[in-house]
Amino acid sequence: MEASGFFNSLRFLLLLFYSAVALLLVSAHGKGTRLGFYSTSCPKAESIVRSTVQAHVKSDPSLAAGLLRMHFLDCFVQGCDASVLVAGSGTERTAILGLRGFEVIDDAKTQLEAACPGVVSCADVLALAARDSVVLSGGVKWEVPTGRRDGRVSKASDVNNMPARSDSVDLLKKKFADKGLNTQDLVTLVGGHTIGTTACLFFTNRLYNFNGNGGPDPTINPSFLPQLRALCPQNGNGSNRVALDFGSQNRFDTSYFCNLRKGQGILQSDQVLWSDASTKPFVQSYLGGNKFNVEFGKAMVKMSNIEVKTGENGEIRKKCSAIN
């Protein structure tokens, strides 16, 4: 072989090697999802998920918020790998209060297994269901890249560093930054509270003896306080539920941000977005128009690619509640 031919062959082999390494790195860092992943292997995958979510949300509109929240929490623990769906003692599912919508995912997965056995991951079902929930609640549709695989680990101890209702803005920003999300992503994704409710026990501390001051959280609008106290009495059991977006709990709109401006944020981690100089401009930008809807879709795509498992990493579960 001539020298030029030898070096050309060597260059070709090196190119193949570095391409393979690059593909492995892409997979390892969760960048392997793409639009239309199931277009050949299970062309009806998205329509099956959509029709299933539609049927359940029509029967119980509150499930939309439950599915959106479950996808968010899944991505913040072990990445977007459906680990939150695994049942059993000591799993993430046992450590997170108030999770809802498991029956919707199980229903969709059963239909997908009948149509395309062993093809569609539970992680993708959850990502698609979250999108469809937002659309059914009045939000704007976005395209969901798919190709995630399901994780093989689900531990209650891994949920300790999730964003929490009592977190300061600085701590929230750090937790989001640790997942590759910036301050705008934080405000945008927390805006998902435009749908759904929360139990009184998660914010009663703001109503009566905030930080030991003997009175309410001073950031609560005084005219709003009597309504909240009526819904959440001081000696109640904390189980009553209150809309996170007061007056618009089933509609995906911008009223959540308008409520923050009026001092009517329900959770402490909601209201601080208005009082902090780094987050307030984003809240202000979402007070009207369609910007929030557009940015929410972008932020959801970004979030849904956190530490995803692709290729040989992970599995396709037969049942979403159990590792194979």
- Is 163 assigned a ligand-binding role in the annotation? yes
Instruction: Specify whether the CB–CB gap between 71 and 131 falls below 8 A.
Output: no
Angle at alpha carbon of residue 295, lines to 293 and 300, rounded to 5°:
95
3-state secondary structure (DSSP) of residue 286: coil
Q: Is 276 annotated as a binding residue?
A: no
Query: Is 170 one of the annotated binding-site residues?
Result: no
Q: Please identify which residue in the block is written with the tokens 């956190």.
A: 306
74 labeled binding residue: yes
Was 83 annotated as part of a binding site? yes
Judge contact between 78 and 153, C-beta under 8 A. Answer: yes
Cβ within 8 Å of residue 298, ≥6 positions away: 142, 188
Indicate the residue type of 197: T
Which residues, at least 6 apart from 220, have a Cβ–Cβ distance to it below 8 Å? 206, 207, 228, 263, 264, 271
Annotated binding residue 92: yes
Q: Which residue, among 199, 197, 196, 191, has the nearest Cα to 255 in the 3D structure? A: 191
Residue indicated by tokens 């905030």: 210
- 255 assigned to a ligand binding site: no
Any residues with CB less than 8 A from the CB of 175 and at least 6 apart, and which? 76, 161, 162, 163, 167
Is 5 known to sit in a ligand binding site? Answer: no
- Letter string b/e over residues 265-282, b meaning 16 or more CB atoms within 10 A of that residue's CB: bbbbbbbbbbebeebbeb
Residue 33 is labelled as binding a ligand = no
Tokens encoding 97: 């209060």
DSSP 190: H
Residue ranges for the binding site for substrate?
A: 163
Residue ranges for the binding site for Ca(2+)?
A: 74, 77, 79, 81, 83, 92, 194, 245, 253
Residue ranges for the binding site for heme b?
A: 193
Residue ranges for the binding site?
A: 74, 77, 79, 81, 83, 92, 163, 193-194, 245, 253
